[in-house]
Amino acid sequence: MKRVRCPKCDNFIIFDETKYQDGQALVFQCPDCGKEFGIRIGVSKLRKQQKDENPTSEENDEGVGTIVVIENVFHYKQVLPLRMGDNYIGRYMKGNPKCNTPIETNDPSIDMNHCVINVSRDKKGRLKYILRDGPSYTGTFVDNQILGDKERRVIENDTLFTIGATSVILKTPEE
């Protein structure tokens, strides 16, 4: 099953792509807003645009870890690479230059710049991950405790944290 996003209201429409061939054009009507729009089966323009706007660590190949966005009612599971320095995590919006780790979601409780994971190396050369809130309207939770305005929390592999109504897990590389 594939999903397409309505360009007017950002609602996702799910369809079975196995019934169609690459290059075939499809027309959808959004059940929420009634907008009609077309797509061509094959490479997603949205993915290309997002990749062009926000280059990932695949391009600099540092391999410093990923975050796994858990599948929930707002979106499907996503695995997003991290890079050295500040990783601004938030809701994807075209043209948002600050958010370099965008989550594609309709979750209204995730801010465009919700939280930050800073990746650095400690004195022994090991990777260190520090989480802080953006600041955001709904807060960032680690172990069911909200992070204060200027609070920073060191997180490790498999740490579960929540932004808005979305759960995220930090995955560090094997060293």
Using one digit for the tens of pLDDT, what is the confidence trace for 129-154? 999 998 899 999 998 899 998 899 99
Q: Are residues 24 and 72 in the same domain?
A: no
Q: What's this model's pTM, rounded to 2 decimal places?
A: 0.66
Q: Are residues 93 and 149 in the same domain?
A: yes
* Predicted local confidence at residue 154, as pLDDT: 95
d(CA 47, CA 26): 18
Q: Are residues 79 and 150 in the same domain?
A: yes
CA-based end-to-end distance of the chain: 36
Q: Are residues 69 and 143 in the same domain?
A: yes
Average pLDDT, the chain: 84
* Predicted local confidence at residue 167, as pLDDT: 92
Q: How many domains does the chain have?
A: 2
Q: Are residues 28 and 59 in the same domain?
A: no
Q: Phi and psi (nearest 5°) for 98?
A: -75, -35
Q: Are residues 106 and 150 in the same domain?
A: yes
Q: Are residues 113 and 79 in the same domain?
A: yes
Q: Are residues 59 and 35 in the same domain?
A: no
Residue 69 lies in a domain: yes
Q: Are residues 89 and 157 in the same domain?
A: yes
**What average pLDDT does the segment 87-116 reach?**
90
151 three-state secondary structure: coil
Structural domain span for residue 100: 55-171
Residue 49 lies in a domain: no
Report the b/e string of 144-173 with b at 16+ CB within 10 A.
eeebeeeeebebeeebebbbbebebbbebe
User: Which tokens in the block code for residue 161?
Assistant: 């944290």
Describe the chain by its helix, strand, coil percentages, rounded to 5.
10, 40, 50
Q: Are residues 31 and 101 in the same domain?
A: no
